[in-house]
Structure 1
Amino acid sequence: MKNIVLCFDRTQDQSGRRAATNAGALFALVESSPQQLTWYDAGAGAQPRGMNALKWRQTAAEAARTSVEEAYRFLVDVWTPGDQIYLFGVGRGASCARELARLLATIGVWHDRRDHLLDYLLDTYVLPRTERTAADWARVTRLAAHLTGRPDPAVPVRYLGLFDSVTIPGAARSAADHLPNVAAGRHAVAIDGGHFGERIRAVEEVWFRGAHCDVAGRPGACWPLADIPLDWVLDGAVRAGVRLRGGCRLPSPTEFDALAGSTHPLSMRKLPEDARVHASVELYVRAHPQYWRRLPARIEWADAEWLARGERLVPTGAPLPIAPATPRELAVAH
């Protein structure tokens, strides 16, 4: 039995430690070995100047389909029963990770390549061009069960880690939130972001202070803020069994990180009344009471022990010295 880690990033064709997203930073910490295979997709960038909106939507949707198909084919090549699958994604890449999880719940891992059946399944059911309902996917699952001879073709996903998932332009709704095969997961959502996509009820969803870039991580982010959701999603992955590179260090964020940056002047998101808000936001609210206006009337604080985690990524054994570099410099090569 081995681990298989797949990451859908959104680098926007930029490089350097300050261009990394939180998904990329997390992936850089993950061990790659015969005991833990890894797969990484850099993702598509932003809309190019001069490209009309319709063309861009079509291009973005096709790029996402290609990413999910390539990830699925990787699993076809390396997955065996009992392997633990871990999926990570950021922004539109988070939607790709969810789509792959849904595909695994619907048809499992299809090893049969006869008569181009696998090509047909991927072309038809990966980010379908027309809207599919839960009943549609149930019919596909029954067909897969009949063709494979397995009563339940679903393949489990051990952990689904997402950073501020946004919808893929040009992709039809596909009921990707129905993920009964996901054992555990965490979704970090930006309080001060733009238009919010779909809620993801299949995993633990927690709201963090900052704009999309401050939760997803990318150029323009407030890096102390970005490290807080990175720490939370990574903590869930470690608890779920992800192996990290030997000697890697990522000290947990402090109260100073929670107070970093300023309040974004405008937020297009309205938090659900039952939203769970990360406990780091409480520190900021105490210093900036006007921020209460962006939060639900009754707040459930999540991850109350975030300051007490300490350096929980230090391997057991002799303690390691704290490196002088920043957490992100440790996670991402220049």
Structure 2
Amino acid sequence: MTLRELIGSFWPGRREKNTPRPTTRGPVTHVVILDGTMSSLRDKHETNAGITFKLLRAAGPRAGLSVHYEPGIQWRDWRSTGDVVAGRGINRQIRRAYGFLASRYRPGDRIYLIGYSRGAYAVRSLAGCIDTVGLLKRNHATVRAIEQAWRHYRAGGQSQAALRFRLAYCLNDVRIEAVGCWDTVKSLGVRLPVLWKFMNDAHAFHNHHLGAAVKNGFHALALDETRLAYEPVLWQSREGWPGERLEQVWFRGSHGDVGGHITPYLRARPLANIPLVWMLGRLADCGLPLPEGWAAAFPQDVNAPSIGRFMGWGKLFLSRRSRIIMEDPSESYHPTARPDAPLMAAPNSGGPGPSVEKQRETGESGASAR
């Protein structure tokens, strides 16, 4: 039985997509993309993570790319409501991505991890697992060994058993070229109004620092989001981190704008393209191969309307406050989001929320610095 069959039997209901293995054997670029809850790859419905997957998939295996994409939890019927609300499945998602890398990686290859929302939380945890335990060698990448590596990671990876496991079965010098995140939120799922406050967070073992295995970290954040259920999880800088760049940049718009999760309000796409192009540019600077002239496909407009925070379920989120910004040295404004930059256009007229201009007048939006 192949590793794919083993994983399929152990973790049913998988929806991830893997590109074929590269046709030529040289250094391979492995990319893991984990999307947000209720994401889709339907044309014009993709998040920024989904667009990135399609952009890389189009390059094909001839470009030396090996890509793993998985959407977030999907609402299929009422039986899946608990999974969506509680965010159950994130640990299985991380283990699947870990297994993908372990089964394909060879020394000399490069790794990039990309995620949106809850998927961003997942790729950060995946980076932490590789940093803490190492990456299983290909010949040891069995379901049982993946489970074992995960248990050691959850326990902190400092026990004698964990150290023996790492030395015996794992590659210990794996570097991650970059981790790119759009507006990371905690591991809970949709976080429905009121109910999100009562959901247990079973993922407290994940830390908020970039590990030594990560060379670069890029985080796009939503300046105008106010729903407490979408409170962001920023990286915390620490002295002695051996990486090269850590950038956490604030963009205009809500959680959906920054992550490109704007269906059905597609007029917001030019606004969502701003953090998309910024992120892809940063990843390209770190060596991620992108098609020539890729940026021209994503027109940007800071004056495009925002999807806002009141569309659909959004209007039912009663707990709100401005985000706290500029607490970490790695934080900055994108040029289009600086306080002295021209204000963006009002959010969609179909939502009951006030315009961004009005929100800033009343203090309901616009993050505050400490």
TM-score computed with the length of structure 2 as normaliser: 0.66
How is 1:1-334 mapped onto 2 (pairs within 5 angstroms)? 1-10=27-36, 12=38, 14-30=40-56, 31-34=59-62, 35-45=64-74, 49=78, 56=84, 60-62=87-89, 64-111=90-137, 113=140, 118-125=145-152, 128=154, 136-139=156-159, 142-148=163-169, 153-169=172-188, 170-178=201-209, 179-193=211-225, 194-195=227-228, 196-201=231-236, 203-218=246-261, 219=263, 220=265, 222-245=268-291, 248-250=294-296, 253-254=299-300, 257-261=301-305, 264=308, 268-274=321-327, 275-282=331-338, 283-285=341-343, 288=357, 291=360, 294-296=366-368
Between stretches 239-248 and 164-173, larger displacement belongs to: 239-248
Question: Relative to structure 1, is the Cα distance of residues 125 and 284 closer, same or farther in structure 2, using a 3 angstrom cutoff?
Answer: farther
The structural deviation recorded for 1:200 is 1.4
What are structure 1's unaligned runs of at least 5 residues? 299-334
SS at match of 1:17: coil
Amino acid of the structure 1 residue aligned with 2:216: A
Tell me, in whole angstroms, the C-alpha distance in 2 between the residues paired with 1:191 and 1:115. 42
- RMSD across aligned positions (CA): 3.3
Rounded to whole Å, the distance in 1 between the matches of 2:72 and 2:325 is 29
Distance in 1 separating the partners of 2:173 and 2:40? 36
TM-score, length of structure 1 as denominator length: 0.72
Q: Distance in 1 between matches of 2:152 and 2:48?
A: 29
Q: Which residue of structure 1 aligns with residue 18 of structure 2?
A: none
Aligned-pair distance for 1:185?
A: 2.1
One-letter identity of the residue aligned with 1:268: R
Moved more, 77-86 or 214-223: 214-223
| Distance of 2:277 and 2:112 partners within structure 1 | 17
Retained in 1: the 8 A contact 2:94–2:125? yes
Distance 2:169 2:40 in 1: 43
Deviations 1:225-284 (A, max 9, x none): 100000110010110111123564535755xx1122269588634222434221101333
User: How far does residue 82 in structure 1 lie from its aligned partner after superposition?
Assistant: 1.8
Q: For the Cα contact (< 8 Å) 2:257–2:307, is it kept in 1?
A: no
The number of aligned residues is 284
* Counterparts of 1:14 and 1:253, CA distance in 2: 21
Bigger CA drift: 172-181 or 243-252? 243-252
What's the offset of the Cα at 1:286? 9.0
Would the alpha carbon gap of residues 33 and 246 (structure 1) be closer, same or farther in structure 2, given more than 3 Å must change? farther
Of stretches 220-229 and 169-178 in structure 1, the one that deviates more from structure 2 is 169-178
Provide Cα deviations, 1:109-154, integer angstroms capped at 9, x if missing partner. Answer: 112539975143245256x4xxx6xxx344476444443597xx25
**Deviations 1:177-224 (Å, cap 9, x if unpaired)?**
232211112111112222313211363111111111101112146212
Any stretches of 5+ residues in structure 2 without a counterpart? Answer: 1-26, 189-200, 238-245, 311-319, 346-356
Q: Give the conservation status (yes or no) of the 8 Å contact 2:177–2:216.
A: yes
Structure showing greater relative contact order (alpha-carbon pairs closer than 8 Å, 6 or more residues apart):
1
Distance between the aligned counterparts of 2:107 and 2:187, measured in 1?
A: 31
The answer to which of 212-221 and 269-278 deviates more is: 269-278
